[in-house]
Amino acid sequence: MKKIIIICLFFALNSCSQDRDISLSPVAITLNFAHSWGEDDISSSDFDELKFTNENEQTLSINRLRYVISEITLIHESGEPTVLNEYNLVDLTNEAGLSFTTSESILPGDYVSASFRFGFSNNLNIDGAYPDLNTALFNVPGLLGGGYHFMQLDGMYIDNNNQEAAYNYHVINAFDGSNSNDTVETSFSVNIGGLTIGSNTNINVKMDVSEWFKNPNMWDLNEFDTNLMGNYDVQLLMNQNGSSVFDLVSITQ
């Protein structure tokens, strides 16, 4: 009987040990980025055609959409934060960076909140520091504060003269060259909420591109179409509109 108990205990302890080893091994997580215009999903195959209508009833196309996300942050239920020092360039134009698996690993478990940053915070928006973004020409000129674009959204629209005109909705830090080069951070955190990190966690996020033109600032492309990078006030408006562009679609394990 004693032998049986010892054998049972051995198997029980062994199986517990295996469970704990698996659950405590750090894992990567994957962020998947989808895109929509309102209710309609979009991809690069929808580009280059005047097929979208913004809240201001202006017809427009998308020719280029790329943006950077960084600082994936998780707060464990113990209160301990984990910040991944990584970034990802999402390039819908070339269907690149749409799925991003972190290089750094995270301990599995329950997290009370998770987030990523659209763009770079000031301390990471270091001029010329990221070779892949330099190669992609994602830089911001030094005379506008340097660092990197947070988003390039380019296309054509039908203007008040019923002509096709270009727009370059480029999001960067707000830079006031007329006021001692004052810079306001316009990157922002996108909250995903609480989640459980398992061995194969996929966080599926969607950007509704129409929100950039809509909420809370109704966008008039006739007024703000090009040369927006150096427009301090417009960058603040873009930042406000950015707050509603991302939605969490699902988390799968």
Distance CA 238, CA 139 (A): 18
Counting residues that bind other proteins (by CB under 8 A) gives 32
- Under rule CB under 8 A, residue 43 binds other proteins: no
Q: Give the helix/strand (H/E) hosting 107.
A: none
Residue nearer to other proteins on the CB measure, 49 or 104: 49
Distance CA 176, CA 83 (A): 30
The correct pick among 23, 141, 193, 244 for binding other proteins (CB under 8 A) is 141
The correct pick among 135, 178, 179, 180 for binding other proteins (CB under 8 A) is 135
| Among 9-17, 137-145, 186-194, 211-219, the segment contacting other proteins (CB under 8 A) | 137-145
Report, in Å, the least distance between residue 65 CB and other proteins: 11
- Under rule CB under 8 A, residue 59 binds other proteins: no
Instruction: List the interface residues with other proteins, window 206-225 (CB under 8 A).
Output: 225
- Under rule CB under 8 A, residue 230 binds other proteins: yes
| Among 106-114, 134-142, 181-189, 195-203, the segment contacting other proteins (CB under 8 A) | 134-142
Report, in Å, the least distance between residue 46 CB and other proteins: 11
- Under rule CB under 8 A, residue 134 binds other proteins: yes
- Under rule CB under 8 A, residue 178 binds other proteins: no
- Under rule CB under 8 A, residue 86 binds other proteins: no
Residue nearer to other proteins on the CB measure, 53 or 139: 139
Distance CA 102, CA 109 (A): 17
| Among 73, 98, 89, CA closest to 139 | 89
Helix, coil or strand: residue 221: coil
Q: Which residue has the tokens 């629209």?
A: 157
- Under rule CB under 8 A, residue 144 binds other proteins: yes
Handedness of CA 211, 212, 216, 219 (dihedral sign): negative
Q: Please tell me the total number of residues recorded for the chain in this structure.
A: 253
Helix, coil or strand: residue 95: coil
Q: Contact at 8 Å (CB) between 49 and 145?
A: no
The correct pick among 136, 171, 174, 205 for binding other proteins (CB under 8 A) is 136
| Among 2-10, 71-79, 154-162, 208-216, the segment contacting other proteins (CB under 8 A) | 154-162
- Under rule CB under 8 A, residue 132 binds other proteins: yes
Tokens for 5, please give them. 């108990």
- State the alpha helices, DSSP H only, in the chain: 2-24, 131-135, 232-242
Helix, coil or strand: residue 211: helix
φ/ψ region of 42 (left if φ > 0, alpha if ψ in -120 to 50, else beta) reads beta
- Under rule CB under 8 A, residue 177 binds other proteins: no
Q: Contact at 8 Å (CB) between 118 and 108?
A: no
Residues that bind other proteins (CB under 8 A): 47-49, 63-64, 127-128, 131-132, 134-137, 139, 141-144, 154-156, 163-168, 225-227, 229-230
